[in-house]
Amino acid sequence: MKTKLPWLIPLAFLLWFLGSARMPVDKEFSLNRFGSLPVVFNGRHQPLDSIARNALLALRGKQTANLEPWKGDFERPRIVSATEWLLTVMANPEVTDQWPVFRVDHPELISLLGLPDKDREKRSDGKHFAWSQVASDRNFQLMQTNSAVAEEKKAEVRTPFDQALLRLNSAMTLYFRLKNTIQPQDAKDWAAELATLDQLIPPGIAAARASEAGRPYDTNALEALLRPVGRMQVMSRLEPPLVIPPQDPVRQPENWTRTGEALMSHIRGEPLPAAVIDYAAMVSAFRQGRGADFNQAVERYHDRLKGVLPREILKTSREHFFNHLAPFYKAMVIYVAAFLLAVCYWFNFAEWARRSAFGLIGLGFLIHTLGLLFRMWLEGRPPVTNLYSSAIFIGWGSVGLGMLLERFWRNSIGLVVASAIGFITLVIAHNLSLKEDTLQMMEAVLDTNFWLATHVVIVTLGYASTFVAGFLAMVYIVRGFFTKSLDANTGRALARMIYGIVCFATLFSFVGTVLGGIWADQSWGRFWGWDPKENGALIIVLWNALILHARWGALVKDRGLVCLAIAGNIVTAWSWFGVNMLGIGLHSYGWMSGAFKWLALFVISQLILIAIGFLPATTWRSTVPKAAAR
């Protein structure tokens, strides 16, 4: 049995991954098809499903909507998929206004808005609230005035309360936009209303002309037209997603519009785009529970688009699949399992555990790579385009390096480091994905594939290898100080691994940093500008050089090397996240204060490990450091 486990365990995870890759089967309404329809939001083509997921992330930090959050996980609360939630918001907002999808954590904000406490009877978990609660007449005013005040402040001086307030405010704005994407939010039967609109236009326009010319006119006809016009103006002013495709996709492929704008042009005499009618048919059918009609309308619209916008349809259906596949999440789960098995090996030296862990990490790495390639294919760009993808890529590089180390040493250390960094970076990536659309378009200055592919990729590999060296060093301290498992051979092997990886790190971080300088010189005419991110990268280079020289000069032995390498973790974390928190310079594209706490905790933990590294050898449980730390 034990000889088969290294095959069986990864195989089980592989089956789980393949099984989950299949799209869920639609019941009454073809939500899958609807979710893959292309629209334009945030400056890019994306499927409705992506809008739905990103919106739910912004509202409640999850990609699904839990409609009964007061219930425990095992009480089967009603959970709705992102696409179904979005469709209901767009078709039947009276219903979704009652769904508790706005997460509010800050107690002051909860009490300011008079939101209910946790109470099962009142169907409240004290954290998730409905639009009808957060946007009641009284609260709407409160939110407006308070967030205006918070908005005035500079980002650095905003309190947690301000941040919670602004977060809720932008979530509310987003929800308000989504409600007005396809129909005015108060529409009861949009398809029917739309059908009568054409009868209102000629008499209404005639009345308006007459009124302008000072002639007698039909007040009723004018008012009958002005009412829908007002609603449409509100719709377009809110800047909801652009759902109406270009009328002339060949000559003006970028001409996407909003429903409100299309309707306004129609009233001014232009033909009504077919998409407006199709979407109206969808929302009315969905609202009235007519599944067959809904599905027919979706198919009709989809087929029409396929003829004129085949590329967009293909791209958005791929992205829809990618959203569903969630490869990075699955890789994360696999890394956790692998980590446990790899650590297990240190205690019982069971070869099956080590080999199972190796197989699992291999599988995780495969899925990780698959996700990375899929993303590159979707974006048409090199792997690292923003902070989110840098986390994914650092993880990927570290796992690769860890597996390489394991191939040489076969002592499970490479596996522990690989799975630990893989898991942590993917968690970081997940948290970054809560902040914004991870496939967002790039700022003009960064829009160059050549430098993204060279400078960014190499410097990110420099980060990854510095982290690998640092984590190897952590293994040394943790095993040496807390357990008896660090024998002389392992200790020496670890020190050699660290040294080798630091060599790699020096090369990558130096070349990457310098390529950044060359990019700057090519595009701005100056090689080095002491920009915070540049300085961060320079610090990593200097630190790695310092480690190498200290080693060559025999100024440090194994333990000193280990402590320096752990400090490398701090240096790298500073460069990766710390400088972004300064909020200055060309690279300050990710201001985040929530992450500051985690950065501080990480730095403190590393300082503690370094301090342990300096403790006398007699306090260590393993005996090796005495010899090694001469």
Partner 1 sequence: MLKPIIKLLTSLRLTVTLLALGVAVVFFGTLAQTSDGLYVAQSRYFRSWFSTWSPHTVPWIVLPLPGGYLLGTLLLVNLISAHLQRFRFAWKKSGIFLTHLGIILLLLGQLFTDMFARESRMSFAEGEGRNYTEDFQKTELAVLTDASDRTYDSVVAIPESLLSARAETTHASLPFTIRVREYHENALVRARAPFVDTNRPPASTEGVGTRAVVEGRPPTREMDKRSMPALVAELVGPKGSLGTWLFSMVLDPQEVVVDGKTFRISLRDMRYYQPFSVRLLKTTHETYLGTTRAKNYQSRIRLEHPGGTGDREVDIYMNNPLRYSGLTFFQSQMGNELRDGSGRGTSVFQVVKNPSWIAPYVGCGLVAAGLVVQFLIHLVGFIRKKA
Choose between 216 and 525: whose C-beta lies nearer to partner 1.
Answer: 525
Cα 290 from Cα 29, distance rounded (Å) = 9
- Name the region of 187 (left: φ>0; alpha: ψ -120 to 50; beta: rest): beta
Cα 424 from Cα 328, distance rounded (Å) = 12
Residue range at the interface with partner 1 (CB under 8 A); choices 56-64, 77-85, 512-520, 621-629: 512-520
Which residue in 50, 58, 159, 57 sits closest to 109, CA to CA?
159
Find the binder of partner 1 among 528, 591, 598, 602 (CB under 8 A): 528
- Is 237 a binder of partner 1 (CB under 8 A)? no
Residue 600's SS3 state is helix
- Is 489 a binder of partner 1 (CB under 8 A)? no
Count Cβ atoms within 10 A of the Cβ of residue 123 and give its class: 0-12 exposed, 13-18 middle, 19 or more buried: middle
Find the binder of partner 1 among 59, 281, 538, 629 (CB under 8 A): 538
- Is 376 a binder of partner 1 (CB under 8 A)? no
Choose between 78 and 549: whose C-beta lies nearer to partner 1.
Answer: 549
Residue range at the interface with partner 1 (CB under 8 A); choices 63-71, 472-480, 541-549, 617-625: 541-549
- Is 339 a binder of partner 1 (CB under 8 A)? no
Other CB atoms closer than 10 Å to residue 154's CB: what's the count? Answer: 7
- Is 229 a binder of partner 1 (CB under 8 A)? no
Residue range at the interface with partner 1 (CB under 8 A); choices 11-19, 171-179, 193-201, 550-558: 550-558
At its nearest, how many Å lie between partner 1 and the CB of residue 387?
Answer: 16
- Is 607 a binder of partner 1 (CB under 8 A)? no
Cα 493 from Cα 499, distance rounded (Å) = 10
Residue range at the interface with partner 1 (CB under 8 A); choices 39-47, 77-85, 116-124, 187-195: 39-47
- Is 553 a binder of partner 1 (CB under 8 A)? yes
- Is 251 a binder of partner 1 (CB under 8 A)? no
Residue range at the interface with partner 1 (CB under 8 A); choices 126-134, 273-281, 507-515, 618-626: 507-515
Give me the residues paired with residue 45 across strands: 40
- Is 584 a binder of partner 1 (CB under 8 A)? yes
Which residue in 204, 202, 183 sits closest to 263, CA to CA?
183
Choose between 129 and 451: whose C-beta lies nearer to partner 1.
Answer: 451
At its nearest, how many Å lie between partner 1 and the CB of residue 131?
Answer: 24
Residues 382 and 376 sit within 8 Å (Cβ to Cβ): yes
Cα 129 from Cα 135, distance rounded (Å) = 10
Structure tokens at 601: 């905790």
- Is 511 a binder of partner 1 (CB under 8 A)? yes
Find the binder of partner 1 among 571, 599, 609, 610 (CB under 8 A): 571
Find the binder of partner 1 among 161, 176, 527, 598 (CB under 8 A): 527
| Identity of the amino acid at 504 | F
Residue range at the interface with partner 1 (CB under 8 A); choices 96-104, 112-120, 217-225, 510-518: 510-518
- Is 545 a binder of partner 1 (CB under 8 A)? yes
| Identity of the amino acid at 344 | C
Cα 551 from Cα 554, distance rounded (Å) = 5
Choose between 130 and 457: whose C-beta lies nearer to partner 1.
Answer: 457
Long-range contacts of 113-117 (CB under 8 A, 24+ apart): 113/139, 113/142, 113/143, 114/138, 114/139
User: Alpha carbon 38 to chain centroid distance?
Assistant: 20
- Is 38 a binder of partner 1 (CB under 8 A)? no
- Is 454 a binder of partner 1 (CB under 8 A)? no
Q: How many residues bind partner 1 (CB under 8 A)?
A: 62
Residues 528 and 517 sit within 8 Å (Cβ to Cβ): yes
Lookup result for tokens 């410097």: 459
Give me the residues paired with residue 80 across strands: 65
The helix (run of H) or strand (run of E) holding residue 379 is helix 351-379
Residue range at the interface with partner 1 (CB under 8 A); choices 5-13, 104-112, 425-433, 436-444: 436-444
**DSSP secondary structure letters along 170-204:** HHHHHHHHHHTSSS-TT-SSHHHHHHHHHHHHHHH
At its nearest, how many Å lie between partner 1 and the CB of residue 501?
Answer: 11
Choose between 210 and 518: whose C-beta lies nearer to partner 1.
Answer: 518
- Is 176 a binder of partner 1 (CB under 8 A)? no
Structure tokens at 624: 């090796």
At its nearest, how many Å lie between partner 1 and the CB of residue 40?
Answer: 5
Count Cβ atoms within 10 A of the Cβ of residue 137 and give its class: 0-12 exposed, 13-18 middle, 19 or more buried: exposed
Contact mark string toward partner 1, 44..73, x via CB under 8 A: x-----------------------------
Choose between 299 and 447: whose C-beta lies nearer to partner 1.
Answer: 447
Look at the alpha carbons of 421, 423, 429, 435 in this order and tell me if their dihedral is positive or negative: negative
Cα 569 from Cα 603, distance rounded (Å) = 8
Structure tokens at 554: 């025999």
Residues interacting with partner 1, by CB under 8 A?
40-44, 239, 241-242, 254, 256, 258, 408, 441, 443-445, 447-448, 451, 500, 503-504, 506-507, 510-511, 514-515, 517-518, 521-532, 535-536, 538-539, 542-543, 545-546, 549-550, 552-553, 555, 571, 574, 579, 582-585
